A and B are shown apart, each in its own frame.
Chain A
Amino acid sequence: MAAERLHTGTEAPAATSARVGVQIDGVTKKFGAFTALHEAWLKIEQGSFMTLLGPSGCGKTTLLNLLAGFLEANGGEIFVDGQLMTETPPYAREIGVVFQNYALFPHMSVEKNVGYGLAARGVPKREIASRVADMLALVKLSDFGHRKPKELSGGQQQRVALARALVIRPKLLLLDEPFSALDKNLRGAMQVEIKEIQRSLGVTTIFVTHDQSEALSMSDRIAVMSAGRIRQVGTPDEIYRRPTDRFVASFVGDVNVLPAKLERRLDDRASVMVGAVRVEVPAGTVDGLAPGAAVDLFVRPDALAIGEKGSGFPGTIAAHVYQGSHVDVLVDSPATTGGRLLVRVPGTQAPHRWPVGQAVGVTPTGDAVAFPPEAA
């Protein structure tokens, strides 16, 4: 263990260029016989917004707790701004955390809450007052300094929590499902606000969530996690349109799964056949499969279009779900595993053009990805 640490210790400065804010090197965490995190590797650019996305129990919160120092890893190293964190106690890590329920100290005023980290550092009182005032102005709560947390609304409490975490000028900001306690309208507004503040301060941020729409809308990059492993790391667009993992494709966004056969591979592209319909996919995810092998084709609802009967996959319009800017059309079709395709049609004309019961053809028009079928 000691030799290993020495090894990574000497290697780290070379690997940690000035632009890497956080480097997670093969971090593993076990709880008894249960492995919550399997050798996680991740590099996060300084000043960027990285999201750990996954269902509950996927290990994202464990990783967050390891970063904050609330848990000790069973192996691997964590670097923040090039500094080894693994042996640093949590109170010396200079990492700001916004907790799920904010964890604002109920017995202290907003000012005292925000100034807590500065007081713990022995910052002189006058400087605390001015830095707290600046921070409260940044989160638009200048007039609320003397209130107690319980006298604030959910959104205001969240801003206090953010101000408290940022006032210490942390090297890294951790956000632990911070929007889950807010109602839906407030959530969108707070997401924009937090993103703006994060960008203006340029603080490296790791955001933990199970909500894929939050992840897609806020992140510079997303690490999708499942069962203690990081499945894919990429920009929101890469994650949404070019998933490299079956779990990622089905967890992020809505998706249609169609049984298909691999036809042939050419360099980095491949083609698969769904019945008589040929669809182009990236070859990376079907590596090692022979032509003719069964695969599952994943197609987003917005990468499908409805056309006249006879084109694409045959189907019958089953229902319309009006969504304002678009209409979700459900099409009964034998081509899909579930027997029903979801097609997202922009505009509001779909119910008139394709009434329920009409026989249609559904054509793939955008990105599609194929994966080997799930092991039975």
Chain B
Amino acid sequence: MISKRVFPWLDERLGLTTIYKTTLDRMVPKVNWWFTLGSATLFLFVMQLVTGIMLSVYYVPSPDKAYDSIEYIMTGVAFGWLIRGIHHWGATLMVITVFIHMLRVFFYAAYKYPREITWTTGVFLLLATLGMGFTGYLLPWNQKAYWATTVGTSIAGSVPGIGDFILRALRGGSDLSAVTLARFFSAHIWMLPAVIIALIGVHLYLVIRLGISSVPKEND
């Protein structure tokens, strides 16, 4: 059989068995269903990634055309409604799972020694997810998007002293404009995803290195 010869050859060079042993074939404490929230969030993130990349095929980040291009995705392109629908609802579900995941970790005290850094990266992931929600909300350039972002950036602008500066930095000027849309778009599809992917890498590495936390017993 060919696989009998191909697999050892590949294994010798790629170390597949080692990867399998360290990631999958390892002993973990018995845990309950609450421990699936992390992987659920990861799954949703992958779905967001796939559908988001697909949306960028037709989406145009300009105030003149953003609305029209989304209308085209929804009514003109085959299955555009499905792709955008999944992306829209995936965002909502992801915020929910990431938040409950955080509560689960808190409840089981899994953030304590030796998993402090896992927790810290997790909090950054939570913030980045909210950032994705905030930046993505503007992109359709509809009434809801426009006014929510107007208010949202104004809130950031109320920071004492440097508020006005933050507001201008967020909006790329004093008004919500094409510049705002362009930078929210860039943040939404390049900066935040890059940050999230890097953090997920660290987060998962730590989860595998330190093992899944166990459900605390009464004497723990």
User: Do A and B associate with each other?
Assistant: no
